[in-house]
A and B are shown apart, each in its own frame.
Chain A
Amino acid sequence: MVVIDATGRPPMASGAVPRPVRSRNPLDHDVPTGREEAWRFTPLRRLRGLLTGPDADGKVSVTVSAPAGIAVEQLDAADPRIGRSYTPADRVAAFALARAGGATAITIPAEAATAEPVVVHLHGESPRAAAGTAAGVAYGHLLVEIGPFASATVVLDHTGSATYAGNVEVHVGHGASLTFVSLQDWDAGAVHVGAHAYSIGRDAKLRSFTVTLGGDLVRLSPTVDYRGPGGDAELNGVFFTDAGQHQEHRLLVTHTPRSCRSRVTYKGALRGDGAHSVWIGDVVINADAVDTDTYELNRNLVLTDGARADSVPNLEILTGEVVGAGHASATGRFDDEALFYLQSRGIPPAEARRLVVHGFFAEVIDRIEVADLRDRIMASVAARLGETPAEDEPATPAGAETVGA
């Protein structure tokens, strides 16, 4: 949906994009019923009570490996840096902040240029959930601050199993450049609800990648705000939603200062009964945000019957003086002509499908400059595809090795 309104009416009255309540107090946020726009796609029962903020009975350990010169601290709950870039916009995020009991802070000093990535391992310590038992509840809050004119790569690597409500605040200093990867490589039983808030300084650049592969339910809400003109945010995403998984990505980019740019590119593949992906792409261009350049795109590839992809782009434009504002969303099956073309070159059907999916994701994944991470993601996708039962004759082993070459 696109709403263009240059009448000067207050946004609440005109909007395509809902304005949520913002408060650190969980009780200020209504308990959703499932009918709200923000919750209508989410299976609330599978949140394992995160909406009521149960006591933590599980653990997500946080281990940071960082090059020298980068500060890693444990902040207590009263530290004023917490909440500087993000005020919770829903109950789960508010509980995460309230129950986390502080935050882990990673600070990259001004003008630092680190080639080596900072890797934050977030590992759900709940033992692999046995049938019928849920992984323990854990809360977390993470602060990442990039000093002015610094450049850095930060990787969040989520593994293991937990019922986890975790917020991430990312503060990109003026003129700084950040590549940020959040990989959700959870075990099958994990539930992960998270707000990822990016605050972009004047002339700063963010390149983010959100890669969701594992978990039973993952619901992430990346948001971008700009603190000055010239900010540039690229939000890339990849997800592979398997049978029974619910993977939801809700993006909100708010253009308030002038001359900022945003690009959203999310690609997902779905496979199997009950696989459900949700992509919400909200972009607001406020009245003073002239010279804005924004485009958002979501493409979903449905590999089998029984999977469902919801894709909802919303663009709200309150000034006409923009460079560009657009969105595209498409959900489809394999391109039969592409499969025919590959098979007509001798490539067996299963291998042809692997190549097409590989190519589909490569456009996004190849942009990740951390080679071992890129390879790990592609290998994970290839492994999942390898499990897809061939509908036709069995693939001959010949040729399989060239995937990913």
Chain B
Amino acid sequence: MTAAVSTLEIRNLHVSVETEEGPREILRGVDLTVRTGETHAIMGPNGSGKSTLSYSIAGHPKYTVTDGSITLDGEDVLALGVDARARAGIFLAMQYPVEIPGVSVSNFLRSSATAVRGEAPKLRTWVKEVKASMEALEMDPSFAERGVNEGFSGGEKKRHEILQMALLKPKIAVLDETDSGLDVDALRIVSGGIEAVRAKGETGILLITHYTRILRYIKPEFVHVMAAGRIVDEGGPELAAVLEDSGYDRYVKGGGAAAPAGAGAVS
């Protein structure tokens, strides 16, 4: 693969969801630029809009973009369907991966690799590739024969997400709370998988997290703090260290840059 740099640009993104009381705005003008090879962390309290941002990038139909733009190398991402975004090089590792009963992991992985790469991978090299990626994530080979996410433990689900990222080689990967629900061992393994993808320098990573714990394994160059639907603070790794000590209080309560009253608990 040529190492041309790809750029995901998010400009003034406003996103609403439909509620019983009518549309409700969750993102209120997000600006963010992620390039391949870079690692960004987005941190923020519950309800700040972190997950909404990740789903909006992936194109989940529940979220309506009311203003702003998302482009990948200048191409309008918002005009693309969910599957076309993935084929364009955007990947979302989900916080709560969905069970798909009866569809085996191996069949699913091959179907998605075929779709994203535009041709079916050659069987012999594909089997090796999957095997090596699974070993790196300490996954038992029998895993491939199970139904997608069916009866997976929390750690297995997250390893499976990172396995997909490794195989699909996206330009931009959004990791939505990939660290949540992992014990120390699983966090180490999952972080190792993310680090391996990052080390290749062909993927830009947007790491969304509530906690700083995963940042001990994966060092972002850029840290963004999100509150009430906007990026309210930005900095380098040192910002994560500050958050580790002081938490999010000053962004939520202090009447800070962007925490209007009533912007509270959006999950």
Interface mask (B90-114 → A, CB under 8 Å = 1, otherwise 0): 0110100111111100011011101
Q: Is A337's CB within 8 Å of the partner chain B?
A: yes
B114: chain A residues at CB < 8 Å are 398-399, 401-402
CA distance A405 to B107 in the complex (A): 7
A366 cross-chain contacts in B, Cβ below 8 A:
102
Min Cβ gap B229→A in Å is 22
Q: Report B-chain residues with C-beta under 8 Å of the C-beta of A337.
A: 98
CB-CB < 8 A to A345: which residues of B? Answer: 83, 86, 108, 111-112, 115-116, 164, 168
Write out, one digit per residue, whether chain A residues 102-146 have a CB within 8 A of any chain B CB (1) or not (0). Answer: 000000000000000000000000000000000000000000000
Whether, in the assembled complex, B50 has its beta carbon less than 8 Å from a beta carbon of chain A, the answer is: no
CB-defined contacts of A352 to chain B, threshold 8 Å: 83
Contact pick for B100, options A344, A348, A356, CB 8 Å: A356
The answer to whether A341 has its CB under 8 Å from any CB of chain B is: yes
Distance in angstroms between the alpha carbons of A356 and B91 in the assembled complex: 21
> Does B110 contact A405, Cβ atoms closer than 8 Å?
yes
In the complex, whether A347 has a CB less than 8 A from a CB of chain B is yes
Determine if B81 and A343 form an interchain contact, defined as CB atoms under 8 angstroms apart.
Answer: yes
Binary B-proximity of A14-43 (CB < 8 A = 1, otherwise 0): 000000000000000000000000000000
Q: A363 near B: Cβ within 8 Å? A: yes
| Number of chain B residues whose Cβ lies closer than 8 Å to a Cβ of chain A | 36
Check A340–B115 contact: CB distance below 8 A. Answer: no
Number of cross-chain contacts by CB at 8 Å: 106
Q: Residue among B91, B97, B115 with the most chain A CB within 10 A?
A: B115
Judging by beta carbons under 8 Å apart, are A398 and B100 in contact?
Answer: no
Contact pattern, B 51-69, Cβ under 8 Å of A = 1, otherwise 0: 0000000111100000000
Does B119 count as interface, using CB distance less than 8 angstroms?
Answer: yes
The reply to whether B98 and A392 form a contact with Cβ atoms under 8 Å apart is: no
Q: Which of A340, A359, A392, A398 contacts B103 (CB 8 A)?
A: A359
Please report whether the interface of chain A is mostly helix, strand, loop or mixed according to DSSP: helix
Given A348-B115, A359-B147, A399-B114, are A343 and B82 neighbors across the interface (CB < 8 Å)? yes
Q: Which of B101, B110, B111, B147 has the most CB of A within 10 A?
A: B111
Q: How many residues belonging to A are interface residues under a CB distance threshold of 8 Å?
A: 34
A179 and B158 CA atoms in complex are apart in Å by 40
When C-beta atoms are compared, the residue in chain B nearest to A336 turns out to be B61
| Complex CA distance for A337 and B100, rounded to whole angstroms | 10
What residues on A are CB-neighbors of B103 within 8 Å? Answer: 355-356, 358-359, 362
Among residues of A, the one whose C-beta sits closest to the C-beta of B118 is A398
Kindly state the separation between the CA atoms of A353 and B57 in the bound complex, as whole angstroms.
22
Contact B82 A344 (CB under 8 A): yes
Nearest Cβ on chain B to A386's Cβ, whole angstroms: 15
**Least Cβ distance of B37 to chain A in Å?**
22
* Chain B positions near chain A (C-beta within 8 angstroms): 58-61, 81-87, 91-92, 94, 97-103, 107-108, 110-112, 114-116, 118-120, 147-148, 164, 168
14 other A-B residue contacts (CB within 8 Å) besides A343-B81, A355-B108:
A338-B99, A345-B83, A345-B108, A345-B111, A347-B83, A352-B83, A359-B101, A359-B102, A359-B103, A359-B147, A362-B102, A396-B115, A398-B119, A402-B110
**Interchain residue pairs with CB less than 8 A apart (10):** A341-B148, A342-B108, A343-B81, A344-B86, A345-B111, A346-B87, A358-B103, A360-B102, A399-B114, A402-B120
